[in-house]
Chains A and B, each alone.
Chain A
Amino acid sequence: MEERKLPAPEPNPETAPYWDAAKNGTLFVRRCAACGRAHHYPRTLCPFCFSDKTEWQAASGNGTVYSFSVMLRAPAPYAIAYVTLDEGTTMLTNIVDCDFESIRMGMRVRLVFKPTEGGAPLPMFTPA
């Protein structure tokens, strides 16, 4: 089986702090101080109330699997997933470092970072 190589994310001025935090082992979520809600992917203007009073918040790194699929038709199979963070928002990610057969809906997962090819590491999740 081929080893899976992860492409580097390409930050922009709006998202650079997210990836800088990732380099330091922290997952950021963006939360709106006006309406109080967290969202993902992060934006400057809150996608719920359009306030510009949004702030970075360090996530706990805990979440649950909202949905997943094991991609078998690939050089190296992988598990793509949506994970709902305890902070309340849902992000696209991968479930790693486990037997894919053991992944379940609603399973508790915790944050791990995986290196990319020349960029910031990617926040991924593994069974808690």
Chain B
Amino acid sequence: MTIKGKAYIAGAFEHPTRKAPDKSVAQLHAECAKGALTDAGLTKEDVDGYFCAGDAPGMGPLSMVDYMNLRVRHVDSTDTGGSSYLVHVAHAAEAIALGKCSVALITLAGRPRSEGMATGTAPRPGSPAQPDMQFEYPYGPTVVNMYAMCAMRHMHDYGTTSEQLAWIKVAASHHAQHNPNAMLRDVVTVKEVVESPVVASPLHRLDCCVISDGGGALVVVAPEVMKSLGRPRVKIVGVGEAPKGQLGGDVDLTFTGARWSGPRAFAEAGVKPADIQYASIYDSFTITVLMQIEDLGFCAKGEGGRFSADGNLISGTGKLPFNTDGGGLCNNHPANRGGMTKVIEAVRQLRGEAHPAVQVKNCALALAHGTGGSLGTRHGSATLIMERE
């Protein structure tokens, strides 16, 4: 049993806002839903499956199904942080393959920027029942310093440098200059990245992603629904999931769950990393990209720094065009969860609807990969491979 060829992405929409103090979170979800359904040529009445994660207000699917007044027969509120939306695409394909729904709507939205959230630099208390809470929170773990420890160890084990990491931001900025909605549109240099202030050693301010309001939505449909629509066909051919934690105390910060989710997706799709023409790679930080590129098999372990340097990730010149919308590093990181926008840009590339300056020629096979939670503690990992039909 496989999901290969059992479902298509028919609709994709990225909310243009990056700061939305005048909108509610539920409203942003609904606006994204409407955008993706319009993109697909479908209506709210066609939706029979709904997917959302922890960014959805209230009781997730119950609150949002009520707000949008949907009549669905399948819901899924799997929350694996920023990777949730790739997991939702996988689960939607599985549900569609089993006949549990035929038009699955996935939404994400949030307003961390308007709410003044110190996303990366303040420790966030969880519930005391969270088993790690008492052993971690008092020590001041933040998003940035936990990823910084991954970078520190990667540098120690493999000789990775700050300049190599900086190339990842540089490549993202080359793409973002063409995106009118991107938060950071100025092209930056390696020197500017490594000379920006250190937030948590060894990560600089420009190694970090943006904090933005906004959202996005996807519509995943059954083959017979896809055939009835006039849209380019983006077929889901392989998916893989893998959570990774501290391994019982055998902590290893040098690899991510992509080491496990990637091969599962490639095996299902029947393709290999060298076949991928475009890759959306989760980019909460430069180190996030570097480690995932290795773990997905685009280069050998420890070679991510050399692979990413010298513009190798820039569309048109590099071997692996990545995050051609500017990614989380420059464009958008709505609700502090970048998985949704990763899928959306991959869909644009496969449809030939990316900005002409960054569009990969004849892009027929793309990968989107998401991380959620923290690479420094515990995270979700999800890989999605899509093909233009």
Complex CA gap A86/B52 in Å reads 44
CB–CB B153/A66 < 8 A? yes
Are A93 and B139 in contact (CB-based, < 8 A)?
Answer: yes
CB neighbours (8 Å) of B132 from chain A are 41
Contact with B along A1-31 (1 / 0, CB 8 A): 0001011111110010001000000000000
Taking A80-B140, A82-B253, A105-B156 as contacts, is the C-beta distance between A69 and B149 under 8 angstroms?
yes
- Do B131 and A72 touch (CB < 8 A)? no
CA distance A101 to B381 in the complex (A): 34
A85-128 near B? 1/0 per residue, CB < 8 Å: 00001111110000000000110000000001000001010000
In chain B between 115 and 141, which residues have their CB closer than 8 angstroms to a CB of chain A?
Answer: 121, 125, 128-129, 131-141
> Which residues of B pack against A, CB within 8 Å?
121, 125, 128-129, 131-142, 144-146, 148-150, 152-153, 156, 197-203, 246, 248-251, 253, 377
Say whether B144 contacts A80, CB under 8 Å. no
Choice from B129, B135, B142, B253 contacting A71 with Cβ under 8 Å:
B142
Nearest chain-A residue to B205 (Cβ)?
A: A73
Q: How far is the CA of A73 from the CA of B204 in the complex (A)?
A: 10
Q: In the complex, which of the residues A19, A66, A122 has the most CB atoms of chain B within 10 Å of its own CB atom? A: A66
A80–B149 touching, CB < 8 Å: yes
Cross-chain pairs A/B with CB under 8 angstroms, 15 sampled:
A8-B138, A41-B134, A41-B135, A41-B249, A47-B249, A66-B251, A66-B253, A70-B198, A72-B201, A73-B199, A80-B140, A80-B149, A90-B246, A90-B249, A94-B139
Q: How far is the CB of A87 from chain B (nearest CB, A)?
A: 10
Residues in A lying within 8 Å of B, measured CB to CB = 4, 6-12, 15, 19, 37-41, 43, 47-48, 66-74, 78, 80-82, 84, 89-94, 105-106, 116, 122, 124
Q: Is the CB of B135 within 8 A of A91?
A: yes
Establish whether residues B139 and A122, one from each chain, have CB atoms under 8 Å apart when the complex forms: yes
The 8 Å CB contact of A92, one of B141, B144, B148, B150, is B141
In contact, A71 and B139 (Cβ under 8 angstroms): no
Cβ-closest chain B residue relative to A69: B148
Q: Is the CB of B128 within 8 A of A73?
A: no
Residue of B nearest to A30 (CB): B249
Q: Cβ of B156: which chain A residues have Cβ within 8 Å of it?
A: 67, 105-106
> With A71-B140, A71-B145 given, can you name 13 additional A-B contacts, CB distance below 8 Å?
A4-B140, A6-B138, A37-B248, A40-B248, A41-B249, A47-B248, A68-B152, A69-B201, A70-B200, A72-B200, A78-B140, A80-B140, A80-B141
A67–B200 touching, CB < 8 Å:
no
